[in-house]
Structures are given as C-alpha cells and as structure tokens.
Chains A and B, each alone.
Chain A
Amino acid sequence: MSSTIAYIIIGVSVLFIIGIKLLASPKTARIGNLVAAAGMLIALLTLHQPTGDYVWSHGWTFNYTLIAIGTVIGLIIGAIGAYSVKMTAMPQMVALFNGLGGGAAALVASLEFTNPDHEISTFIAVSMLFATLIGSLSFSGSIIAYLKLEGKFEKPMTFPGQNILNGLILLVIVGLGVYLTGHMNTTAFIVMFCLALFFGVAMVMPIGGADMPVVISLLNSFTGLAVAADGFAINNLAMVVAGTLVGSSGTLLTLLMCKAMNRPVTNVLFGAFGSGGSAQVGAAGIVGTVKPIQADEVALLLAYAQRVVIVPGYGMAVAQAQHSVRELSDELGKRGVEVQFAIHPVAGRMPGHMNVLLAEANDPYDQLVEMEAINPSMDRVDVCLVIGANDVVNPAAREDKSSPIYGMPIIDADHCKTVIVMKRSMAAGFAGIENHLFYKDNTRMLFGDAKASLNALIAAVKAN
C-alpha cells in the first residue's frame, strides 16, 4: 500500500469518527451526517485494489460498465426510498437499507471465498465465512423486521422448543463454518449460506413489533461487523475502520435502547413478550370502568386549563396527526395555556420517532420535554392529552409486578388532574398488555381517529 493511500484512509477514518461524533448532538447532527458522507465520497474516488492500484485508473472493461450501471441503479433505488418514504415509515426504510448492506456483505464474502484463484490463509477464510454468515443473517433478519414494521405478522411467532431449535441451527452453521475453513466445498458453503438466511428469519420472527427498533439496531451493528470482516478479507482498511465503528457504536446503541426500556437485551432477543398467549395480559387488578367523553367537553377542559401536557405515541404517527397537534398547541398557546410535550424515549416505533415527527410539524424545540424531566411535575398538570400512546403511559409498569412491562419507566400521566386518552378503540397496545390507565377515575376516553378528533378539538377550542 502506497503511503498516499494510507494518508487518505487516515483522513477518511477521521471524517467518519467526527461524523458520528457530531451525529450524537442535536445541534450538529445534520453536519455530522454530511461529514461522514464526504468521507465516503473521498474514499470512493480514491478506492484502490488490494495490490495498491487505484481502481478508477484501470483500463475500462465491461466489468466497469457493470459497476457504473449497478451503482447508478442503487443510487436511484436509494434516492427513491429515502425521499418518498413517509416520516412514519422511516424505521422500516432504515431496516431495508441495512438489510441490503448485509446482503452485499454476504455476497462479497461469498464471491471472494469461492474464487478458486485465491490462495487464502486461515485468518482470511474465517473472516470471509464470518462475513457471509453475519451478512446473510442481517439481510433476512432486516427484511423480516421491515415486514413486521409494515404491519405484516406483527405478533410474535413462537412455538415450544424454539430457542433449542434455533440453537441447533446455529450449531450446525458454526460446525459447517469450522469445516469450511479447512476444506473448500461449494455444497457445504451453499448450505451454510441458506441456513444463515433461515436463522435470520427464525431469530426475528419470535420478537414482537414493539421491540423491532432494538432488533434493527442490533442487525445494524451486525452488518457493520460483517463489513469489517470483508475489509479484512479484501485488505481494505477503510472498510475495516468504517465497519468496526458501526459494529461497536451500534452495539452500544442497542444496549442504550434496551436501557431506555429498562429491559435486558437477552429479554428482547429471547422473548419476554414472546410468550403471548391468547388472553390479554395484565387484566387482573383493574378497578373502575372506561368513561368516554365528547370532543366539545375536552375542548372546554383544555381551553380553561393552565398547564396541558401532550403525550404523543405511535397512534399520532399513523394518523399523520402531528400537524393537527401543532395547530391545537398553538391555539391553546394563544389563549395563554402552557403547553408541553412529554416525550417517552421509546414512544412510537423507534427512539426519537416522536421528536422527528413533531419537528416535521415545526413544533418548537423547547416545548418537547423528556420523560425524566417532566415526571416530577406531572401532579401540577391540569390536563394530560394522550394521543395514540399506550404502553408508555401504562401505570402497570409501576404497580403491577406481574406485568411484562413492570419496571419500564413510564410517563406518569395518571398523576395529572384529568387524563384524556385519544384512542381508536379499546384494543391493547403494541405489547398486547391491558392498560390500567384507561380505568382510572380521572381518565376519560375520546374515541376515534386521532387526526379527526384533533380537528374537532381545534374547532371547538376556537369557538370557545
């Protein structure tokens, strides 16, 4: 490797590190993304062969035409995906892109591994097998995660002995991998590849849709590691650095997400919600009845309140109601009502999901308050408006030791003087757990589509 290439790789690595660093702070996040993208572009333009020659200074062959066409097709797919996707569907898009990356990593490793021209050392063989295995697992797992977030088979799919079966499959995969490091056998390799694809499906299927963010984050770090292993195999340091950075930061991010839900990562992966029987969970110990309310009455409560807290959830996202929420909060603001948004770290389908949506509707930053910051003052709130949120306001997490979500930090909506829950129907939340909040004495239910209800509220508040 010439020293010029080495310096370029150092520069690119620094750009990646600074990019990720800037991404971790709200003020600089967008610049951080651009810095990382700039690093990627420089690395692409100076891409070199393992021999040290620059790729683009080679003679132009038919293969280069294929490269150009493939890159442009990918660019178009990526652009269409990125710019046509609705804000609510962002998480799925990330899952999909991640899956494609994993698939690419698996293909690259497979092609290198099965290339008969190469004499490879054990270290390289292990890297390639690892990349094939992790990449294909990430590919199929991400596709399942995507489908689950799209609403296909959301419910966990489980059967007795599932973890044992998955363990056996994994054992066979590892066994084949060990065998393949010493002997090249195309059939064994293809079997391993297919088993890894199947394992990705089997791993994600039992996990409920509510846990998909954690799964996507984990698969994201898996893809990173597969890319790093590919980097080992084809001796490209930029790939090693970038892949490893993603692998380690992704693992930490996964743990942070689990921490925000107060659940150990093993619990997510090996199914705590996975036990999902037919009966609704946590129905025991509910006292009181559900009390419906009409929009006019809610509008009165809101218009004459001093302090209102809005708790948005996934229901707001599906109803695309963020603009109506904004309008309502502005209308109340004009009347001198203090309006705040209480943001649960895992409200919606992804951490930060609510922030993105509300920011899209131009809600002022300073109105968004994180859960820990708002909870101590919840008992001084007149009206708490819960819009399409469910599990994140379920007091069972605090009170009911038998509840699957016991111990998860929640927004203490039930401490407010009046709680208005806007909900489509009495169906249980994503985790499939009965919500004790709906039966509390100070709770009223406003049934209907979130957007339609909000518009009725806005009209009624204006009329007051």
Chain B
Amino acid sequence: MDPNIPDIIFIFVLAIFVGIEVISKVPSMLHTPLMSGTNAIHGIILFGGILVLADADSTLTQALGFVAVVFGSANVFGGFMVTDRMLQMFKKKKK
C-alpha cells in the first residue's frame, strides 16, 4: 500500500510546529534531560527494524535487520531508562 503523500506531509509539517512549540520555554537545567528524553523517543526506529526483519528473506537482510533491531531496542529502552535516572535526581528533597 502506498502512503497518501499529501496526508503524510501534512502531518509532518504540523509535527514540526508542535515540536518547536512544546519546548519553547525550557529552563537550561532541563536541557540535558530533555535531549535525553527526545533521544529515547526517536528510538521508535526499533519499529522500523522489526518491520524490516519480519520481511527479511536472505541471510544478509536478516543479519542487518537484526543489528537494526538491537540498535533500536538499545536506543529506546536505554534512552528512557537513562532519562529516568537523571530525573530521579531532581525529586523534591525530603526533610
């Protein structure tokens, strides 16, 4: 199935503006965690790896697809965990 290109570009353009808008006011102390959090979100590339590997039909594509899945999985899981660990540090101090 071919994607409906105008629809997809429409979503793409709107997402650009949303991305800019949501972080327009962020204190500098949160720059690192924010970068780390968005880093985890692009770990969604794991899905791409899964879809490619699911259809792989040669040893080479299986091997490369497998590497893509490992990379994507490390990106998404590691990304969220490392962000959470950073943000744990920001919790309110107990008296």
Contact = CB atoms under 8 A, between A and B. Distances in A.
A111 B61 contact: yes
A197 to B, nearest CB: 14
Contacts of B46: 44, 71, 74, 104
A276 to B, nearest CB: 26
A47 B29 contact: no
Interface residues of A, number: 121
A337 interface: no
- Most chain B CB neighbours (cut-off 10 Å) among A29, A70, A359: A70
Interface stretch (A174-182, A346-354, A427-435): A346-354
Interface string B60-79: 01101111111111111111
Nearest to B7: A237
Nearest to A243: B42
Given A23-B34, A24-B34, A101-B45, A17 B64 contact: no
A81 B80 CA distance: 11
Contact of B66 (A36, A70, A124, A234): A70
Interface in B1-35: 1-3, 5, 8, 11-12, 15-20, 22-35
A343 B42 contact: no
* Chain A, interface SS category: helix
Contact of A63 (B11, B54, B81): B54
**Band of interface residues on B:** 35 or more
Contacts of A79: 77-78, 81
A104 B49 contact: yes
A100 interface: yes
Given A83-B81, A101-B75, A111-B61, A246 B45 contact: no
Nearest to B51: A234
Contacts of A55: 50-51, 54
B93 to A, nearest CB: 5
B11 to A, nearest CB: 6
B31 A253 contact: yes
A144 B51 CA distance: 29
Interface in A15-66: 16-17, 19-21, 23-26, 29-30, 32-34, 36-37, 40, 43-44, 47, 49-52, 55, 58, 61, 63-64, 66
A33 B15 contact: no
Given A78-B74, A239-B47, A246-B42, 4 more contacts: A83-B85, A97-B74, A231-B48, A245-B22
Pairs A-B, 5 closest by C-beta atoms? A74-B73, A78-B78, A248-B19, A70-B69, A351-B31
